[in-house]
Amino acid sequence: MAIVNRTPDSFYDRGATWHEDAAMERVHAVVEEGADIIDIGGVPAAPGSEVDVAEEIRRTVPFVAAVREAYPDIVISVDTWRHEVAREVCAVGADLLNDTWGGWDERLAEVAAEYDAALICAHAGGVPPRTRPFRVAYDDVMADVLDRTLALARRAADVGVDPARILIDPAHDFGKNTWHSLEITRRLDEMVATNWPVLVSLSNKDFVGETLDAPLTDRLAGTLATTAVSAWLGARVFRVHQVRETRQALRMVSAIRREIPPARTVRGLA
């Protein structure tokens, strides 16, 4: 899942794909690199200037329509917590709603059901959208992740979302400190054991930076290490900035697990 931000102030690319031409160039590039899903977002996760419903729609809906026209068969995801935005993007071709704020708007699942869209049920610890964690604590962070994401998944199925189109996401950094994000990574197999497909969004996040004392521009190695661990433990979808490098890491994990053969094998055979 390749990230394409339609914001002027996203934490990683700092607005590199704010203008539509640049955003479409990014789509072309990540499709070429092997992205299966394009995840389009119109509101940054961090606190900042207000983005109301109308502005989020303006940033996302025409672009979703343009991507759908350019790539009829690609899976298009939209990162939103608002049912009003969800309805508009689904109407122009979005396939997947990425609810990174943990069901803050209960009507989002109803829109997914209405349009037969897929839904990502994420754990944000109950904090409001665009809120940073502050002295957050859990008796057992993975237990809380499981309680909340499974409740969201069950409710989504109850309101009519196809269970085969529901994913769960521990949501690293969202409502969590670095210790929490490391813990949920270490115990990701507990989420996988629920039999809901697990998505992870690890790319260049603060828990990687704090663990390695690495600035934003130097977190790829830590991201790929965490990606490899998550893949080994059974994660199915990876939301990323660097598509080519992530696919290489995932292919290596799959080869070690004997799920795919090496691309070529000549060493010691000739």
Domain containing 207 — which CATH number?
A: 3.20.20.20
Active site residue 205: yes
User: How many domains does the chain divide into?
Assistant: 1
pLDDT of 44: 94
> Does residue 267 lie within any of the structural domains?
no
128 burial (CB, 10 Å; 0-12 / 13-18 / 19+) is: exposed
> Does residue 105 lie within any of the structural domains?
yes
Q: Inform me whether the pLDDT recorded for 28 exceeds 90.
A: yes
DSSP 8-state symbol, 259: S
**Identity of residue 245:** E
Average model confidence (pLDDT) across the chain: 97
Backbone angles phi, psi at 78, to 5 degrees: -125, 125
Q: Which of 239, 244, 247, 251 is catalytic?
A: 239
> Does residue 205 lie within any of the structural domains?
yes
User: What are 128's two structure tokens?
Assistant: 């409001």
> Does residue 126 lie within any of the structural domains?
yes
Active site residue 239: yes
Backbone angles phi, psi at 140, to 5 degrees: -155, 105
pLDDT tens per residue, range 192-247: 999 999 999 999 999 999 999 999 999 999 999 999 999 999 999 999 999 999 99
Instruction: Report, as an integer, the average pLDDT of 87-94.
Output: 98
> Does residue 264 lie within any of the structural domains?
no
What's the chain's length in residues? 270
pLDDT of 90: 98
Whether pTM > 0.85 for this model: the answer is yes
> Does residue 39 lie within any of the structural domains?
yes
> Does residue 261 lie within any of the structural domains?
no
- Mode of pairing for the β-strands spanning 2-5 and 118-122: unpaired
Q: Inform me whether the pLDDT recorded for 35 exceeds 80.
A: yes
> Does residue 95 lie within any of the structural domains?
yes
Q: Which of 68, 87, 176, 205 is catalytic?
A: 205
DSSP 8-state symbol, 98: E
DSSP 150-210: HHHHHHHHHTT--GGGEEEE--TTTT--HHHHHHHHHTHHHHHTTSS-BEEE-TT-HHHHH
Domain that holds residue 173: 2-256
User: What are 94's two structure tokens?
Assistant: 């979005």
pLDDT band at 270 (very low <50, low <70, confident <90, very high): confident
pLDDT tens per residue, range 153-186: 999 999 999 999 999 999 999 999 999 999 999 9
Lowest mean pLDDT segment, chosen from 3-12, 16-25, 26-35, 250-259:
3-12
